[in-house]
Structure 1
């Protein structure tokens, strides 16, 4: 019997630590399925080695080096954040070790690594959605509210903002084709201190809705200052931080009340209502969410389903590679993978590049409730098998 090692780079500490919890939970829950893997007639013992990224790209790169040189990892898994996974992927590419990542738009995954969108990596693979997919879902929700209003764009001056503004693969190509008028309210530095200039531009252009990728604290400040100025967006769509409940953010005076009042809409890439099952044991999305809440005492998060799919794909890859102890064979198996998972079917043979498998998106809205905000799915135009569970409500 031979030994295989799966290396994991997860944010156990730092600002991304809440998003690391789903991955560590899934690794523990699926430990029995990962102890041994059968590939053809051979049976392999499998160990899982976890290193803390500390929510920092430099620490994440060092974690990869430790996993490869000390643990002899055959495959590295990572997720959470927009800066850490690309750092992990770059380190794996340099060390010629297969890597699988998830949780942020594929254009950001490629662009942040300094390569063109059609660049083919040799060792690193990713599954997620695209900026164009987010724009399409948001446009569906804008159109449920009012097709005539201009949409104010509250985007920062960092990577996220530059990508969302990009004339080729940002929001404009998708939304302009659908007849929407985007008003860039101007870049801002995170954390923000004053949005009054942005609110002035919103008033100047009669922007009735706002789209953004802001942190919960920044969005709460914007909403508060807009209300103070007598403006109330009919709909706010958020593509980055508010995919998870704002109650997971650090306590800031008034933030949760402000965002509950804003009724923020967002993308939905996984939920307990998704109709998919685990390829490992048949676990449903509802089963996984319930187990997480029962075992941790915390609400499910969207990354939970992606963490599970990440481990499912690792198991499948090592089970089907021509030689699961050979890095090149593992990378080749990933490139040829088509796998139904608890997050939907992942197909690297049909992605926008050979390194990308796409996930479909629904649109959701945070509705206030007695136990905190709950995420209702309000549009499924691009994922009709995902059930709609609530109505989109303007603020």
Structure 2
């Protein structure tokens, strides 16, 4: 990513979604005759604006707690493992609060955090300040690293916090590979909101797409919660934008997309992000959700398995459906991967109760996980591993569920099988 675009991204990387409340829960499992115990905190959004990300976390936690039922053998000792999970409520203040509770009240040895800057960044900051190791995922790495105060070209200011996730460059590569599968005039109408994500995308992804030969038609930032998009739709129609891209909160996209259909705007490619990650969000749109293009950072067809549970991606997805009756959710992969990475770090640390030692081990850790290999020390910046996101599409299905997400490109991870070619939305 060009330095100027990255700096612009950072200025906008920040937070601000509010949500509802749900208390965290704790489960201490495992036997340890010597009394040795490890306590792991887990912070994710189970309620609030980004609750879709936290939907499968209860299932993942159940699997992990069962895997730890007889303790964890580390350095010749058997440690009981207690997992204390907390709901960030999709709110940065709440995320910081519950993380500090984990540190001060529960005495955690390690914190795991996932899903959006609103949850991950405050949790990471609290751990960094307290000298407690934290491993996080599923937030664009630029927002996590630079958005928390790191400076390009300078040494990392972080000693205890480590992150693995996709970034803006992965989005750009995915779009630049996916979109040519449908012939278009390369004019992209964008709906990027006036919030942290939207403004960051405008100033970082926009220039990258322009460099790839796309013309960006941007009617300007809109306010979250807007209920009339007539002027934006008219602009897209007037300029014949055959590609559409947006990073909205789910309710806003539903409103916009219904109005676009009523007013006759039907692009050849409709690429959505932030919303449309989960089947329930797309199904709620009815027929208008069919053939929407999206991205995924994990799916049951990924060729990896969990080192903690030994479940393949397919087994993880199938098990979730069998246990809940719900369609697989892509957050299953990274939430499980957090524990894969955590256990690898604990095993590689001579004394897993040594917080500084555990953090140092993580800084050069190389291991496999549910989402694939994770290796710190290889860039793009210290404390960060950039992971894949691949492009695909929601299509009609004759199976148990009305929609199916098919992968249409794998430019950021060639090991992921491609199932179909992108077809036009309209």
- Whether TM-score is above 0.5 comes out as yes
Mapping of residues 1-395 of structure 1, within 5 Å: 1=34, 2-35=36-69, 36-117=71-152, 119-166=156-203, 170-245=204-279, 247-248=280-281, 255-257=284-286, 259-261=288-290, 263-370=291-398, 371-395=401-425
Of stretches 357-366 and 217-226 in structure 1, the one that deviates more from structure 2 is 217-226
Deviations 1:162-197 (A, max 9, x none): 21122xxx2134323322222223111112211122
CA distance in 2, matches of 1:111, 1:224: 36
Does the residue aligned with 1:160 lie in a helix, a strand or coil?
A: helix
Q: Structure 2: give runs of 5+ residues left out of the alignment.
A: 1-33
Of stretches 24-33 and 320-329 in structure 1, the one that deviates more from structure 2 is 24-33
Deviations 1:83-134 (A, max 9, x none): 1111111111111111111112111223443443554411111111011111
CA distance in 1, matches of 2:276, 2:37: 41
1:220 CA drift (Å):
2.7
8 Å Cα contact 1:223-1:258 kept in structure 2:
no
1:348 CA drift (Å):
1.2
Q: Structure 1: give runs of 5+ residues left out of the alignment.
A: none
8 Å Cα contact 1:120-1:354 kept in structure 2:
no
CA distance in 2, matches of 1:17, 1:238: 18
Does the residue aligned with 1:175 lie in a helix, a strand or coil?
A: helix
CA distance in 2, matches of 1:159, 1:14: 17
RMSD: 2.0
1:281 CA drift (Å):
4.2
1:48 CA drift (Å):
1.2
1:360 CA drift (Å):
1.6
Q: 1:311 to 1:226 in 2, by over 3 A?
A: same
CA distance in 1, matches of 2:287, 2:251: 10
8 Å Cα contact 1:340-1:346 kept in structure 2:
yes
1:388 CA drift (Å):
1.2
TM-score normalised by length of structure 2: 0.85
Deviations 1:210-247 (A, max 9, x none): 111123332232223223333211111112121222x2
CA distance in 1, matches of 2:43, 2:343: 17
TM-score normalised by length of structure 1: 0.92
Does the residue aligned with 1:317 lie in a helix, a strand or coil?
A: helix
CA distance in 2, matches of 1:362, 1:40: 38
CA distance in 2, matches of 1:372, 1:117: 45
